[in-house]
């Protein structure tokens, strides 16, 4: 007979513990979960998104009712546990239900702290803790105009922004000198205030609320200095208190929270505590990551795992994104007396970074405006990595251009944390991708929880997917979960409303995630490039990781450098440069690629700008969704079977269309005779020289699924071939789905339809006119890659901007 395991609390910590138990030993327990709220388990972190109408209540449910049924879990919700008989091992709920247990977990969470002042019980005074609180706030916002949020911490600011988004006039009242004073230093707190004030929020700092005014419902508030202000709604967000009343009643040791040891055991046998209600080594944690770390240890304990690693406390971090204000805080940033610090501030971009050090190791982190390196610093801090061997400014190098690519995750150890909210390591993600066959960020999130809380780690998750799966991670589809619109609807609105940036698209078309995601950002950026080639400024941050890094990331975190060799031709001078660079930088592999170019493989990230500068060659863009390469044979210039000048035509094609954005990579093959030494019949645009001209084929694919190209016809001149190639490229650009190769595109569009378009002289002329506009906008160079004769552009892409101030204390 199975042991009976009961969890009091249906929140994030308790249910995560149950998930961990099921993963380890699904048949071990008969499980019952007792919850106070009327909902199944949901992601409390996402309540601010519900308040801001970015998500619905249904979308933040992490474990729907079906999950409980599928896992044979009895859920008693909307029925609080009110009594525990430890002798007879029974629990009584508010409705009178009696539940027996063999083992019991307290996961009762916390209560929001409500100021003990006159008027705190009036209508219109709410906390911001539950779905019901959020619904009440939304209802008030629909009826009233003025709101006050008491508390300038993380949750308070998210509540204030959410109410403002509902049309309310919002003031934040805060007792301290600056916002988020326990997570930010004064400078970062003031920067945050300036940004939020520019968005319309108001602040009263160093104000102590003494009384809430009004009759039945709140009408205003009075402060300690005697001043008053009117309001229709007051949200109290000034902290939480562990919900430990029931635990205290039954004899558990309770200080601030329920006291537990390193295995989450209380002072009574077979009774445990986890989450916000638990106190470990004098600390109660109010953030998600520590709660999940506790849940894993408790799951190991309850399933008798070998070599259980005891819980040793958590290093916490805070991350906030409120419409234009990014911040990240970790470790000790308050009690910093006696610590050294490194600080960088760029006043033009409002980017600020400060790292606190003790004996050369990071003890605290404050980032404002550019938070993408938060995970890197956090992992360095957790591992106790010494900075003695690093240059001071190198620690803060990402303050300038090039930050936020997320590619650094490839060089991390597998035990380093990618998703701090949910305690998911790089190794966890890679194992899930490999073992479960995952192909999207959403699938990784479903299996590992990575990216399902604050979402800041999604770029790193996407990078790991791309590194593992290559092109298959971006298989063609409509759009993504950020919108209900499909590709055609989005493109139509881009034209109809003259939308010129991804932000305009996301805002105007009601994106659920206002920042987009790693799947839709590059797609929308591409559609904008096609629609408005001269008006839309290409958004480098929206490019996929290989494009942002201007190189292909290899499985070990190094890169490949592949210069362009048009038509597969090179010169002795180019070969000498390649050899000299490969020798100087100890490049481990020099290889002729499948597209007739020479690649340097295993290049270190730090060496990329120097190598490109010394090569002084143009990038082949072997990493981009662009017109990639033209593979040629030697043709009639040298081969006795050759009928046409294939190398000459290949160079002309490459010079004409290089750097042109396409939905996916676009490859061309030019063979000099029907022997087709360059496999023209499996290229996106294949050409075979014959006695009377050139046979042209389209839509071939030599990749995972071999697809033979379809014959378009035979054409007499090079000019006709180039014109057809340009027309096809533009038609593919205008109608293709981002991530879709020409083979499925041709099948979806219909070969007969595409052939009719390309062979119609008038339509071909129209396509060429649109293509010419794009080529002119490109300026016949890559505007977002590193390799260009434009020295200023190259330096902008690769040189870290010097911050206005760098100080070492």
Q: For the chain, what's the residue count? A: 809
What stretches of 683-808 adopt beta strand conformation (E)?
685-690, 693-698, 710-715, 805-808
Q: Is 809 in contact with 341 (CB distance < 8 Å)?
A: yes
DSSP 541: G
Q: Which residues contact 781 (CB under 8 A, 6 or more apart)?
A: 659, 788, 789, 790
463 contacts 559 by C-beta, under 8 angstroms: no
Q: What tokens appear for 52 in the block?
A: 């801001």
- Longest pairwise C-alpha distance within the chain: 100
CB atoms within 10 A of CB 102: 14
Q: What angle do CA 479, 472, 405 make, to 5 degrees?
A: 75
- CA 678 – CA 631 distance, rounded (Å): 6
Asked whether the CA dihedral 491, 497, 502, 505 is positive or negative, the reply is: negative
Q: Are 464 and 419 in contact (CB under 8 A)?
A: no
Look at residues 166, 164, 160 and name the one whose alpha carbon lies nearest to residue 179: 160
Q: Bridge-partner residues for 807, per DSSP?
A: 343
CB neighbours of residue 122 within 10 Å = 16
Here the tokens at position 267 are 């002072």
**Half-sphere exposure of 388 toward its Cβ, with a 13 Å CA cutoff?**
5
Residue 673 counted as an annotated binding residue:
yes
Name all contacts of 372-375 with Cβ < 8 Å and 24+ positions apart: 372/398, 372/403, 372/404, 372/405, 372/406, 372/459, 373/398, 373/403, 373/408, 374/317, 374/319, 374/328, 374/330, 374/456, 375/409, 375/417, 375/418, 375/420, 375/457, 375/460
CA distance 631 to 241: 68
Distance, in Å, from the CA atom of 209 to the CA atom of 590, rounded to the nearest integer, reads 70
Confirm if 62 and 82 have CB atoms less than 8 A apart: no
Residue 553 — φ and ψ, nearest 5°?
Answer: -80, 130
Give, to the nearest 10 degrees, the angle between helix 718-735 and helix 646-657: 40
Across the beta sheet with 552-553, the strand order is 552-553, 559-561, 598-603, 589-592
| Cα 9 off chain centre by | 30
Taking the C-alpha atoms of residue 596 and residue 157, their distance in angstroms, rounded to an integer, is 56
CB atoms within 10 A of CB 267: 13
Alpha carbons 284 and 209: distance in angstroms, whole number: 26
Nearest to 735 by CA among 521, 537, 538, 526: 526
* Cα torsion 497, 498, 502, 507: sign: negative
Judge residue 771's burial from the number of C-beta atoms within 10 Å of its C-beta, 0-12 exposed, 13-18 middle, 19 or more buried.
Answer: buried
Residue labelled with tokens 């977002």:
784
Q: Which of 100, 131, 25, 10 is nearest to 64 (CA)?
A: 10
520 is in an annotated binding site: no
Q: How far apart are CA 199 and CA 214, in angstroms?
A: 29
Query: Contact, 115 vs 209, CB < 8 A?
Result: yes
Residue pair 767/730 in contact (Cβ under 8 Å)? The answer is yes
Q: Establish whether 677 is an annotated binding residue.
A: yes
| 639 annotated binding-site participant | yes
Minimal CA–CA distance to 112: which of 234, 207, 211? 234
Residue ranges for the known binding site for siroheme are: 677
Residue ranges for the known binding site are: 633, 639, 673, 677
Residue ranges for the known binding site for [4Fe-4S] cluster are: 633, 639, 673, 677
């Amino acid at each position: 007979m199975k042991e009976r395991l009961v969890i009091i609390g249906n929140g994030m910590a308790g249910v995560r513990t149950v998930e961990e138990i099921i993963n380890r030993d699904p048949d071990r327990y008969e499980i019952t979960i007792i919850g106070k709220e009327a909902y199944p388990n949901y992601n409390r972190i996402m309540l601010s998104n519900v308040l801001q109408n970015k998500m619905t209540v249904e979308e933040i449910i992490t474990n729907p009712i079906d999950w409980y049924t599928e896992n044979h879990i009895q859920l008693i919700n909307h029925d609080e546990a009110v009594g525990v008989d430890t002798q007879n091992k029974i629990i009584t709920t508010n409705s009178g239900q009696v539940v027996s247990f063999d083992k019991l977990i307290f996961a009762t969470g916390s209560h929001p702290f409500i100021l003990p002042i006159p008027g705190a019980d009036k209508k219109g005074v709410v906390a911001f803790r539950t779905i019901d609180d959020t619904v009440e706030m939304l209802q008030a916002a629909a009826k009233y105009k003025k709101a006050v949020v008491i508390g300038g911490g993380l949750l308070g600011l998210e509540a204030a922004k959410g109410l403002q988004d509902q049309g309310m006039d919002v003031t934040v009242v805060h007792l301290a000198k600056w916002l988020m004073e326990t997570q930010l230093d004064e400078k970062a707190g003031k920067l945050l205030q300036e940004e939020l004030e520019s968005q319309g929020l108001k602040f009263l700092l160093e104000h102590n609320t003494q009384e809430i005014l009004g009759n039945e419902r709140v009408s205003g508030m009075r402060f300690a200095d005697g001043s008053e202000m009117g309001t229709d709604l007051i949200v109290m967000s000034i902290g939480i208190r562990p919900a430990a009343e029931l635990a205290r009643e039954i004899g558990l040791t309770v200080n601030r929270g329920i006291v537990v040891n390193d295995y989450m055991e209380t002072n009574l046998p077979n009774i445990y505590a986890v989450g916000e209600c638990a106190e470990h080594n004098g600390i109660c944690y109010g953030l998600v990551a520590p709660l999940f770390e506790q849940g894993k240890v408790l799951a190991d304990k309850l399933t008798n795992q070998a070599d259980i690693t005891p819980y040793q406390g958590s290093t916490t971090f805070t991350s906030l994104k409120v419409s234009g204000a990014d911040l990240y805080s970790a470790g000790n940033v308050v009690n910093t007396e006696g610590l050294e610090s490194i600080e960088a501030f760029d006043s033009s971009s409002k980017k600020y970074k400060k790292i606190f050090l003790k004996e050369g190791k990071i003890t605290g982190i404050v980032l404002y405006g550019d938070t993408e390196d938060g995970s890197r610093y956090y992992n360095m801090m957790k591992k106790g990595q010494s900075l003695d061997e690093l240059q001071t400014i190198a620690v803060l190098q990402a303050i300038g251009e090039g930050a936020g690519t997320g590619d650094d995750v490839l060089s991390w150890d597998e035990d380093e944390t990618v998703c701090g909210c949910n305690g998911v390591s790089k190794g966890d993600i890679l194992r899930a991708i490999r073992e479960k066959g995952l192909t999207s960020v959403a699938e990784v999130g479903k299996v590992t929880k990575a990216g399902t809380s604050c979402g800041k780690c999604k770029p790193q998750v996407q990078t790991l997917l791309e590194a593992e799966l290559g092109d298959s991670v971006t298989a063609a589809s409509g759009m993504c979960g950020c919108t209900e619109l499909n590709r055609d609807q989005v493109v139509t609105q881009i034209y109809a409303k003259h939308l010129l940036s991804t932000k305009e698209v996301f805002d105007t078309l009601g994106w659920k995630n206002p920042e987009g995601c790693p799947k839709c950002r590059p797609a929308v950026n591409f559609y904008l490039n096609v629609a408005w080639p001269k008006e839309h400024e290409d958004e480098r941050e929206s490019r996929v990781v290989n494009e942002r890094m201007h190189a292909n990331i290899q499985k070990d975190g190094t890169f490949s450098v592949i210069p362009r060799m048009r038509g597969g031709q090179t010169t002795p001078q180019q070969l000498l440069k390649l050899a000299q660079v490969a020798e100087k930088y100890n490049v481990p592999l020099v290889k002729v690629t499948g597209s007739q170019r020479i690649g340097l493989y295993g290049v270190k990230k730090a060496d990329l700008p120097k190598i490109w500068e010394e090569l002084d060659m143009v990038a082949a863009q072997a990493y981009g969704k662009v017109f990639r390469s033209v593979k040629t044979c030697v043709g009639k210039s040298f081969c006795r079977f050759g009928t046409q000048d294939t190398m000459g035509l290949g160079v002309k094609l490459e010079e004409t269309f290089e750097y042109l954005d396409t939905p996916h990579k676009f490859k061309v093959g030019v063979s000099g005779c029907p022997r087709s030494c360059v496999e023209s019949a499996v290229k996106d645009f294949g050409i075979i020289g014959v006695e009377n001209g050139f046979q042209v084929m389209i839509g071939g694919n030599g990749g995972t699924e071999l697809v033979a190209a379809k014959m378009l016809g035979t054409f007499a001149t090079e000019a006709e071939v180039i014109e057809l190639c340009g027309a096809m490229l533009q038609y593919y650009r205008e109608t293709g789905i981002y991530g879709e190769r020409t083979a499925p595109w041709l099948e979806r569009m219909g070969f007969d339809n595409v052939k009719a378009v390309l062979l119609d002289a008038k339509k071909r002329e129209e396509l060429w006119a649109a293509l010419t506009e794009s080529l002119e906008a490109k300026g016949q160079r890559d505007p977002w890659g590193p390799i260009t004769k434009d020295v200023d552009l190259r330096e902008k892409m690769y040189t870290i901007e010097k911050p206005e101030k760098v100080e070492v204390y």
